[in-house]
């Protein structure tokens, strides 16, 4: 199962990094700003407390008053907007200025969490308290949070765009590698890269692929050569054995003649197997290099008359359905499908065959009345030399018919498939690309 592309993963990763970075940077900036503001505010409160202490001392000297008596007047004269000023003599509040709750001369008051507080003793009997609301710091945090929310979409958009550009540039050699592989026909050599600057990882991957490609090509070449040579070498001995059997049959008695007839029939079956192996040895990816115009309707009518023995009334073929390919090979595929249907038909109903052309694909559908194919068997039937248990019990064969039909179809750019369900009559379809490239030649 395919997953997301590398470009998509890089883009998502960069967007996630951008979002996380924006969050961390905004948080760090907000905390730094808050700490800086708190430090600056505490320094301002210390300066205000020193100025207030000087004012209390000056007021006491000028008016010749006690400190606790001079403190209220000094507080009123020194009051600053936004600050809370208090003077305490022991546990007694002797003066205050500014709005807000009573702070108190000692830590632990209920207002401590809502205020930034500095306490300055003036003398043993007098404590000055200077406080500013902590709401200013929270307001700064809200400003940073709002800024983060406003900036995040822009950061994510920029990160996604940059990630997409970077990912495309990073994956371009891989995409080029994939394009070159898909453009190959058969096991032809892999073209050189379209770009000169190939990353080391992609170059290593391509080198490993070329090595595997070369080994695969050599293996398949040897297999094709072996199958072709073995089939070719078997032809002559089989032909001589058949000739000798026919000669012996000419002068033999009835009993010996029947045995020789059976021997000739077996030899013919071996010859068909050899011919099938020759076709199967061809590379399906190579296709049919120089195909000719083939009227599949004529081929189907000819094969039907030969295989179905007069039951062609259940077959519907148009006058002309043209494909490009090898007529002999197409005839082998059609014959194998119809012969397979003839072997397994049940209930006395004739085999049904329907040939259609939708303009782009030629489709031959062959139905075997009374036969059923389990879903698990549909693909296995196309394995070479595989025969289902029912087939082994009902007829002889080598298990090459459907495999050969599919191989021929794929040589022509088509396919053969089992399209029926387990509850339906067995139905196989042969699909081939319709003729393209102008009108087919006449005749």
Contacts of 310 (CB under 8 A, 6+ apart): none
Confidence tier at 280 by pLDDT (50, 70, 90)? low
Q: Is the pLDDT of residue 319 over 70?
A: yes
Q: Cβ atoms within 10 A of the Cβ of 316, count?
A: 13
The residue from 224, 250, 280 where one domain ends is 280
Domain boundary among 137, 155, 182: 137
Mean pLDDT over 204-219 rounds to: 81
Mean pLDDT, range 111-128, rounded to an integer = 78
Q: Clarify whether residues 294 and 231 are in a common domain.
A: no
Query: Do 388 and 313 belong to one domain?
Result: yes
CA–CA distances in Å: residue 127 to residues 81, 88, 112, 203, 244 = 21, 5, 16, 79, 134
Residues 416 and 365 in one domain: yes
Provide the terminal-to-terminal Cα distance of the chain, rounded to the nearest Å: 48
Q: How many domains does the chain have?
A: 3
Q: 168 vs 73, which has greater pLDDT?
A: 73
Percent of the chain residues topping a pLDDT of 70: 76
What is the per-residue pLDDT for 312? 47
Residue 76 belongs to some domain of the structure: yes
Most confidently modeled of 46-55, 61-70, 82-91, 293-302? 293-302
pLDDT of residue 364: 92
Asked if residue 152 belongs to a domain, the reply is no
Report the pLDDT value the prediction gives residue 430, as an integer from 0 to 100: 92
**CB hemisphere CA count around 72 (13 angstroms):** 7
For residue 274, is pLDDT > 80? no
pLDDT at 186: 62
Burial call 165-200: b when 16+ CB within 10 Å, e when fewer: eebeeebbbbebbeeeeeeeeebeebeeeeeeebee
One domain for residues 72 and 98 = yes
How far, in Å, CA of 349 to CA of 334, rounded? 20
Helix (H, G, I), strand (E, B) or coil at 225: helix
| Mean pLDDT for the chain overall | 77
328, 401: one domain: yes
pLDDT band at 155 (very low <50, low <70, confident <90, very high): confident
Are residue 304 and residue 251 in the same domain, yes or no? no
Give the full edge-to-edge strand order of the sheet including 352-357: 315-316, 352-357, 361-368, 426-433, 415-418
DSSP state of 349: P
Backbone angles phi, psi at 425, to 5 degrees: -60, 140
What tokens does 50 get?
Answer: 């020193």
**pLDDT score for 51:** 85
Is residue 227 located within the same domain as residue 306?
no
| Residue 116 lies inside a defined structural domain of this protein | yes
The tokens describing 113, both together, are 């969490």
Domain-embedded: residue 177: no
77 vs 329: CA distance, rounded Å: 113
**DSSP one-letter code for 366:** E
Q: Given a cut of 80, is residue 14 above it in pLDDT?
A: no
Residue 440 confidence (pLDDT) above 50: no
Look at residue 157 and tell me if it is in a domain.
no
pLDDT of residue 442: 46
Q: Which of 43-47, 181-185, 221-225, 287-291 has the highest mean pLDDT?
A: 43-47
| Helix pair angle (135-182, 6-63), 10° resolution | 170
pLDDT of 66-100, one tens digit each? Answer: 877 888 888 787 777 778 888 888 888 888 888 87
Residue 188 located in a structural domain: no
For 180, 196, 279, 404, the CA distances from 330, given in Å and listed in that order, are 31, 45, 11, 10
pLDDT attached to residue 443: 42
Read off the pLDDT of each residue in 253-272 and give the average, rounded to a whole number.
72
Read off the pLDDT of residues 325-381 as tens digits, 9 standing for 90 and up.
888 888 888 888 888 888 888 777 888 889 988 878 899 999 988 888 888 888 888
In this predicted structure, the answer to whether residue 283 has a pLDDT above a threshold of 70 is no
Does the structure show a pLDDT above 60 at 311?
no
Q: Is 352 helix (H, G, I), strand (E, B) or coil?
A: strand
pLDDT at 277: 66
Cβ count near 367 (within 10 Å): 22
User: Is residue 303 located within the same domain as residue 368?
Assistant: yes
**Whether residue 95 is found in the same domain as residue 78:** yes
pLDDT band at 398 (very low <50, low <70, confident <90, very high): low
The parent domain of residue 303 ranges over 287-433
* Domain final residue pick, 253, 280, 307: 280
Domain identity same for 76 and 107: yes
- CATH code: domain of residue 402: 3.30.565.10
**pLDDT at 136 exceeding the cut of 50:** yes
Q: For the chain, give the percent of residues with pLDDT over 90.
A: 3
Judgement on whether residues 327 and 213 belong to the same structural domain of the protein: no
Q: Phi then psi for 165, rounded to 5 degrees?
A: -65, -45
Q: What is the DSSP string of 231-285?
A: HHHHHHHHHHHHHHHHHHHHT--HHHHHHHHHHHHHHHHHHHHHHHHHHHTS-GG
263/344 same-domain check:
no
Does residue 151 belong to any structural domain of this protein? Answer: no
Asked whether residue 195 is assigned to any structural domain, the reply reads no
């Amino acid at each position: 199962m395919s997953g997301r592309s590398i470009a998509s993963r890089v883009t998502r990763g960069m967007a996630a990094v951008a979002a996380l970075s924006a969050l961390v940077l905004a948080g760090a900036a907000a905390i730094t700003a808050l700490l800086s503001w708190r430090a600056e505010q505490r320094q301002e409160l210390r300066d205000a407390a020193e100025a207030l202490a000087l004012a209390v001392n000056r007021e006491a000297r000028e008016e010749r008053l006690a400190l606790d008596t001079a403190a209220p007047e000094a507080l009123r004269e020194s009051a600053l907007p936004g600050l809370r000023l208090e003077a305490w003599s022991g546990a007694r509040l002797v003066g205050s200025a500014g709005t807000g709750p009573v702070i108190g001369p000692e830590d632990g008051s209920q207002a401590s969490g809502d205020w930034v507080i500095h306490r300055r003793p003036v003398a043993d009997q007098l404590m000055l308290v200077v406080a500013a609301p902590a709401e200013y710091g929270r307001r700064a945090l809200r400003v940073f949070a709002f800024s983060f929310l406003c900036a995040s979409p822009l950061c994510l958009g920029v990160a996604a765009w940059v990630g997409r550009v970077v990912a495309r540039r990073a994956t371009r050699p891989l995409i080029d590698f994939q394009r070159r592989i898909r453009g190959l026909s058969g096991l032809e050599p892999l073209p050189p890269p379209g770009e000169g600057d190939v990353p080391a990882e992609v170059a290593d991957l391509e080198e490993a692929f070329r090595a595997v490609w070369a080994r695969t090509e050599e293996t398949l070449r040897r297999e094709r050569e072996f199958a072709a040579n073995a089939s070719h070498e078997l032809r002559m001995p089989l032909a001589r054995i058949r000739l000798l059997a026919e000669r012996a049959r000419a002068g033999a008695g009835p009993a010996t003649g029947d045995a020789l007839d059976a021997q000739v029939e077996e030899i013919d079956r071996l010859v068909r197997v050899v011919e099938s192996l020759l076709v199967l040895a061809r590379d399906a990816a190579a296709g049919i290099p120089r195909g000719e115009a083939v009227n599949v309707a004529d081929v189907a009518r000819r094969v039907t008359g030969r295989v179905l023995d007069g039951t062609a009334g259940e077959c519907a073929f148009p006058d002309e359905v043209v494909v490009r390919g090898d007529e002999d090979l197409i005839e082998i595929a059609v014959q194998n499908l119809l012969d397979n249907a003839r072997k397994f038909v049940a209930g006395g109903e004739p085999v049904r065959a329907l040939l259609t052309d939708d303009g782009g694909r030629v489709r031959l559908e062959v139905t075997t009345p009374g036969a059923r194919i389990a879903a698990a068997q549909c693909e296995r039937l196309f394995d070479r030399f595989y025969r289902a248990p029912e087939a082994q019990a009902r007829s002889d064969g080598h298990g090459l018919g459907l495999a050969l039909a599919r191989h021929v179809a794929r040589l022509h750019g088509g396919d053969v498939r089992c399209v029926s369900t387990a509850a339906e009559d067995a139905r196989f379809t042969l699909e081939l690309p319709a003729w393209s490239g102008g009108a087919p030649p006449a005749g």
